[in-house]
Amino acid sequence: MNQVQIIVLDFGSQYTQLIARRLREHGVYTEIVPYFEDIEKIKSKQPKGIILSGGPASVYEEDSYKPDSKIFELGIPILGICYGMQYIAHHFGGKVLKADKQEFGKAHLEVLGGEKINFISFDKYKIRQNEESILLLWEDSVRASHCFLKESDIIEIKDEVKEGLSACDIFMVAEHDGRFLGFIGCIDNKIEMLFVSSKYFNCKIGKGLIKCVLNDRSDVIAVDCNTQNNDALSFYQNIGFEIFKESKTDSKGRNFPVTHLRGKADKIRENLKNIKEIIISKSQIFNNVKNNSIVWMSHADRVEEIPQGFVELAKSGNTHYCAIANLDKNIYALQFHPEVVHSECGGDILENFAINICMADTSWNMNYFAESEIQKLREVAKSGKVLCAVSGGVDSSVVATLLYRAIGENLIPVFVDTGLLRAGEREAVEAMFRENLGVPLITIDASEIFLGKLKGVTDPEVKRKIIGETFIEVFEAEAKKHNENGEIKFLAQGTLYPDVIESVSVKGPSKTIKSHHNVGGLPDWMKFELIEPLRELFKDEVRALGRELGMPESMLIRHPFPGPGLAIRIMGEVNKQDLDLLRVCDSIFIEELYKHNLYNKVWQAFCVLLNVKSVGVMGDNRTYDNTICVRAVEALDGMTATFSHLPHSFLEGVANRIINEVEGINRVVYDITSKPPGTIEWE
């Protein structure tokens, strides 16, 4: 499946790609295009919905970003986020003003009109009493999910369901405001029937019903599922059921193949532990979003008056119109950013929009990405060899593996020892490629070149640019050795989206934060075309891709390491003495994380040499030595991050080891800054 399900129009938010990433988590194939994308191009992709991203502009300014207004004539759902909300309000005649006070950070979302679903147990008398309503729900659900059934089949099976209702020893319904939204019936340890109203597919009602009937069971639960009903099969397998048998006909001998599944109650219950209260909002976009959940605000403007035809869906302490919608036109707007990890139920909100409102397909995954990317690389690189920049980190290793699958020996992987690597990095990289990938790696020792060019340089931007330019120069020199007849046509890099979004505008006007080591392409005088197969993936997606490609886990769990290496973890000038000192400190920190089983619990951990001296006392002597900053963060993708709450006793042990074992360090500090407002790296 490669049809675009959701299109995101980029108005310049630093978080735009997170929207796509959150939706891809749910298997929804999503593309980002600039806000000015031609309406005919949008039409040609036949998306199920459109999302307008946030952005730094103000809608009331003369040169503000505006998409083609014909997007509102496509007849598909539209969601505006932050600037996207303000644009929608402004476009439809609402009033947007500069806020009296800018709002950046956490807020509590008050969903208006949300009500809890009730799960009610029915005895045989209540089943008979409500039989007509139950059968109407069954028919609605079956017509929406069993497209392979003929009208005669539905009539025949309906009579069988009617008989089966009274045979159930456990029967429960999901009810809201006097309406039945779903029901489940069991006989002994088998689910005989589970159906949900088509209006409430993907609202977790089926999961809630199963959780209710499990109670304290510890035995095996069985269920039969029509093999042609792929969505139902995926549903059962995702919560812990496993296929153990298949039949060519159903229980009545009809030519409907049946898949028999079973699962341990404990395992299923564990998978459903996060299904608690199920909330139905007056709009599906807030279904199962708990009241007073935390959301992330980042705006300087506010909607003062909503347009005619729109209603208020939610508010926060500081923002009256936190969410609005025109339910008749299927247009929704949020002032906060559901895509960032700080928004507690943000993923649920985006899932509600894409799957429940847009009815998007959810079959996209890393297997699809790997297959399509390998085919694309074969096509792109068929005219020549590819020089691949290998750092030894997860990103470039996945790129090399992907390329090797695609073009085999036409890949020339080159590893540059910049002199800015961690302790033992070069040896580990060479062994990894030799033993795990079977790829002959070319190693270039360019440490003297890099350190020579960095001598006397203190500005972090200049350091990054020097390192990036030197990378290109070294690659060009190496390429000439393998390119006597012009065989090499391409240069591959492990660029990820967080690299790109912090460096250049990608498919839209995203504002630049800082330049990066491997973003921006090649100088005009180089003859190689740039290949960046991971350019629009996030770190966790790259790891998932690596697993799909069969790479060893040891290569995939490594913490991210920046291309400029330790140069951006030394404040000020970079020299060999400081690099050696930082390597020892960093090794101690990482060693202690492994020792205390904390390495895999943080997203990234490292040390920074601050080059700030302070007075200390060691033994009977006064010292005046350097300071090391210890940094550890938790994140999903690197676009946002929070500092890791490591145990104080652990941090004390790390500090003691560094001060006692590393000459020249007499003070250790721990960085408790999140992103935003800070960045993960110091430079």
Binding residues for ATP, as ranges, are 391-397
339 is a catalytic site residue: yes
3-state helix, strand, coil in the chain (%, to 5): 35, 25, 40
For residue 629, give the nearest of 649, 650, 611 by alpha carbon. 611
Distance CA 506, CA 484 (A): 35
- Which tokens is 576 given? 């060999």
Question: How many angstroms separate the CA atoms of 351 and 203, rounded?
Answer: 10
Q: Which two tokens stand for residue 132?
A: 């007509």
Which residue intervals of 424-562 are DSSP H helices? 425-432, 447-454, 460-481, 497-501, 539-548, 553-556
Q: How far apart, in whole angstroms, are the C-alpha atoms of residue 47 and residue 35? A: 15
Q: Judging by beta carbons within 10 Å of its beta carbon (0-12, 13-18, 19+), is residue 62 exposed, middle or buried? A: exposed
Catalytic hit among 37, 82, 388, 559:
82
User: CA 507 to CA 512: how far, in whole Å?
Assistant: 13
Amino acid at 663: E
Binding site, by residue number, is 391-397
CB neighbours of residue 399 within 10 Å: 28
Q: Which is catalytic among the residues 37, 103, 339, 532?
A: 339
Instruction: Give the whole-angstrom CA distance, residue 232 versus residue 223.
Output: 11
Element (DSSP H or E) covering residue 586: helix 576-595
CA angle 253, 254, 258 (to 5 degrees): 85
* 271: phi then psi, degrees, rounded to nearest 5: -70, -20
Q: Which of 26, 90, 299, 337 is catalytic?
A: 337
Active-site residue, 25 included:
no
- CB burial class (10 A; 0-12, 13-18, 19+) of residue 652? exposed
Q: Measure the CA–CA gap between 205 and 226, rounded to whole angstroms.
A: 20
Q: How many CA atoms lie within 13 A of 670 on its CB side?
A: 18
Active site residue 337: yes
Backbone φ and ψ of 442, nearest 5°: -95, 120
User: Quick one: 587 exposed, middle or buried, by C-beta within 10 A (0-12, 13-18, 19+)?
Assistant: middle
What is the spatial distance between Cα 296 and Cα 104, in angstroms, rounded to a whole number? 7
Catalytic residue positions, numbered: 82, 337, 339
